[in-house]
Structure 1
């Protein structure tokens, strides 16, 4: 009798484990009924999300607060430590959970996932990217609701450089970049590699900017909002924005949106409505301005504005 019952017991155990793994993949109704929403934001990533004086701060933290308030829900922040690539971040924080993310007292405990993840590059080609067998790589998530357009930006020390009208100047003057970033690859390969010897690598843009302040480099390249933030923190006219333009770099601007599980598009639509209201009302632009940042609307809004202008 025991031998006959064993397969059923194993099946029940497997089903139970699967249920536990997916239990925190909450649907819209679950989120609204729970009284809280868990928003995924990157850890130690100013000016987007970071700790300041013991409190969460940054534009994405403020956006998360406004989303929670719009639904009259308590905000729970799900801090994300970036993995090797975006696919890993989506898997670990949106639809599956990290295999090390376990409760030591209860190994079968449910993994915590973000209901909504912020600061996800909004790119249709990437969203529908396929593997070698033709399967969607990101089939478990939906990337939508772009709320900002980001771009690359150079800041320079005006006591060392009169201006930066072309990147060719960095054949002779050192520039600081974040290690393993797009700027790092660009400055070590563009112009037939002639800027490689003048490229200095740092763990993050803050360290590169500090190196510029110490005279180690003449300029720094990072994302526009990061540069704006660092300039605002420096509070000195000595460090200025360069004219943008990076030949042969490829994509230099991109939209930022959210990611939700493929099974809960309803929550994504609801959050999208909140972000859309913030963009159209000017609240989003003001939020960025409060942190000393320039704000650029996503491509969709720019195209719509241009079309409306042409009609008139």
Structure 2
């Protein structure tokens, strides 16, 4: 009798734990029936998503609003604080929830996850990456629907540099980068470390731009959208865009898409259709232009357009 009770309790606890691995996951029908969609965007990350005088703004915020409108749903923004890596962000904000974000009624459950997460690097190799035992690292998440191509960009002070035809110029002039990013690693290791002494680290690209305004650095490297927005905001005619590439850097451009739970592909397909219409109809480009940022269509659309041009 006691054994049966203990066995029943154990089964119940195990079922609860397994059921809560994707706690509060809402399937497509749940989202539609609820009347709202919860879309995840990164916190304090201009020009993509941030708050200005308490009002959410940014490229991804506007994209999220458009998605909600087209699906005839109210929008709830889920603000994402970045963790150590993308895998952590996907776990904490898409399929499981952060371990600190408990539900008071059910201490085993995580209560606050997004239905859809924006600005997720779209890479098939990463999406199907396996661990040392052969298990999929991202088995609970689907990355899909690329809506923008991002790349690295340098802006420089034309009063200090005539041009930036090669990164070798940063052997002699300091460059500002965000700490713990690809540019930070690149400039401290490229050309056998010859750029390391002229590399200055800042908390974000905005701080690096302020340093360029004050003459601390001659250039800044960050994502192109960030550079475009900072140039638009500052309006300083001295600051110009470099056109150089970055030897030995590896991937210098990548697509950005969405992430949904593996169990909720239907919602992902619905959002994908909205994003596709935005790209083809020009609304996506208009949103980017609103923030002074250049829009570059994902590689799929570029290949498609090139094929159509060639056919003509």
TM-superposed CA distance for 1:133, in Å, is: 1.4
Equivalent position SS for 1:272: helix
TM-superposed CA distance for 1:269, in Å, is: 0.5
The question of whether the paired residues in 2 share the 8 Å contact of 1:27 and 1:267 is answered with yes
Aligned to 2:78: 78
TM-superposed CA distance for 1:3, in Å, is: 4.0
Equivalent position SS for 2:78: strand
1:1-312 aligned at under 5 Å gives the runs: 1-103=1-103, 107-312=107-312
Q: Which consecutive residues of structure 2, in runs of 5 or more, have no partner in the other structure?
A: none
TM-superposed CA distance for 1:108, in Å, is: 4.2
Runs of 4+ with deviation above 6 angstroms: none
Please report the TM-score for the alignment, with normalisation by the length of structure 2: 0.97
TM-superposed CA distance for 1:149, in Å, is: 0.2
Q: Which region of structure 1 is more displaced relative to structure 2, 108-117 or 181-190?
A: 108-117
TM-superposed CA distance for 1:273, in Å, is: 0.2
The question of whether the paired residues in 1 share the 8 Å contact of 2:101 and 2:110 is answered with no
**Is the alpha carbon distance of 1:20 and 1:69 closer, same or farther for their aligned partners in structure 2, counting shifts above 3 Å?**
same
TM-superposed CA distance for 1:200, in Å, is: 0.4
User: Could you give the per-residue CA deviations for residues 267-296 of structure 1, whole angstroms, max 9, x where no partner exists?
Assistant: 111000000000001110010000010010
**Is the alpha carbon distance of 1:281 and 1:19 closer, same or farther for their aligned partners in structure 2, counting shifts above 3 Å?**
same
The question of whether the paired residues in 1 share the 8 Å contact of 2:23 and 2:109 is answered with no
TM-superposed CA distance for 1:98, in Å, is: 1.2
Equivalent position SS for 1:107: strand
TM-superposed CA distance for 1:21, in Å, is: 4.6
How many Å separate the matches in 2 of 1:233 and 1:110? 39
Equivalenced residue count is: 312
The question of whether the paired residues in 1 share the 8 Å contact of 2:167 and 2:244 is answered with no
Alpha carbon RMSD of aligned pairs, Å?
1.3
The question of whether the paired residues in 2 share the 8 Å contact of 1:91 and 1:98 is answered with yes
